[in-house]
């Protein structure tokens, strides 16, 4: 009797075929969605990087520890009153997948009004929100301007849309003549060009006398 005609052998071969098919279907149920998710993640990453490249002047982009890292980014814009502003940094990083907040390393902010007045600010680190158009500095923000004013501000927020600079804590300003102004807080409005200090103390520079 031919073994291939044995009903039990045929059933065994059929069982093995069904088992192989079921294993393949089981793998496809898991593998296809995983592959699709991987392709989607790659496409989203490419779209995210492309959008970042559109908004920033970028010299290099890399991914490290689930973060997008941008080398020497530069971002520029114009305020409602025509004031130009630029934000540059040694590096910027943000979580991949939708976070609009960039962590800036050694940022430098430059502001130039249409009348020629210029203000510059620098810090060790800062957070730049693309959505809100704000820069937040938790540590010291060093500020200087074209009138030779030098200032150190603590816990500061720069809002490009509102055209304001706010320092929530200690403020220390040294003017060109040597006068020193200190305060517990500061609100500067670039539109009205008004500096508003809380708990202000002004120490005038000693006048020079002829000998």
pLDDT digits 0-9 by tens, 70-93: 788 887 888 877 888 888 888 888
The pLDDT of residue 38 is 44
Q: Is 53 or 145 the better-scoring residue by pLDDT?
A: 145
Mean pLDDT of 3-11: 61
The pLDDT of residue 15 is 62
Averaged pLDDT score across all residues of the chain? 76
Decide if 164 contacts 187 (C-beta within 8 A).
yes
Q: Is 91 or 28 the better-scoring residue by pLDDT?
A: 91
Res 52 pLDDT > 70: no
Mean pLDDT of 120-142: 90
Q: What is the pTM of this model?
A: 0.65
Mean pLDDT of 196-202: 91
DSSP string, the chain: --GGG-HHHHHHHHHHHHHHHHHHHHHHHHHHHHHHHHHHHHHHHHHHHHHHHHHSB-SEEEEETTEEEEES-EEEEE-TTS-EEEEE-SEEEEETTT--EEEEES-EEEEE-TTS-EEEEE-SEEEEETTTTEEEEEEEEEEEETT--EEEEEEEEEETTTTEEEE-S-EEEE-TTS-EEEESEEEEETTTTEEEEES-EEEPPPPP---
The confidence band for 153, taking pLDDT boundaries of 50, 70 and 90, is very high
The pLDDT of residue 179 is 92
What CA–CA distance (Å, rounded) separates 191 from 102?
26
Q: What percent of the chain has pLDDT over 70?
A: 64
Q: Domain 60-203 is in which class?
A: mainly beta
The pLDDT of residue 75 is 79
Res 158 pLDDT > 50: yes
Domain residue spans of the chain:
3-54, 60-203
Res 145 pLDDT > 60: yes
């Amino acid at each position: 009797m031919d073994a291939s005609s044995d009903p039990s052998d045929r059933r065994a071969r059929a069982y093995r075929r069904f088992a192989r098919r079921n294993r393949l279907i089981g793998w496809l149920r898991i593998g296809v969605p995983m592959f699709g998710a991987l392709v989607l993640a790659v496409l989203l990453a490419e779209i995210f990087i492309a959008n970042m490249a559109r908004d920033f002047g970028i010299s290099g982009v890399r991914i490290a520890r689930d973060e997008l890292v941008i080398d020497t980014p530069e971002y520029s814009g114009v305020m409602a009153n025509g004031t130009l502003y630029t934000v540059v940094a040694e590096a910027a990083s943000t979580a991949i997948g939708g976070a609009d907040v960039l962590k800036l390393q050694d940022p430098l902010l430059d502001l130039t009004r249409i009348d020629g007045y210029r203000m510059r600010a620098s810090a060790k680190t800062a957070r730049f929100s693309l959505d809100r158009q704000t820069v937040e500095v938790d540590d010291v923000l060093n500020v200087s301007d074209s009138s030779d004013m030098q200032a150190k501000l603590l816990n500061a927020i720069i809002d490009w849309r509102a055209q304001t600079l706010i320092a929530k804590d200690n403020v220390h300003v040294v003017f060109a003549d040597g006068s020193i102004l200190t305060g517990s807080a500061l609100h500067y409005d670039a539109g009205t060009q008004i500096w508003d200090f809380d708990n202000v103390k002004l120490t005038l520079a000693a006048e020079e006398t002829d000998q």
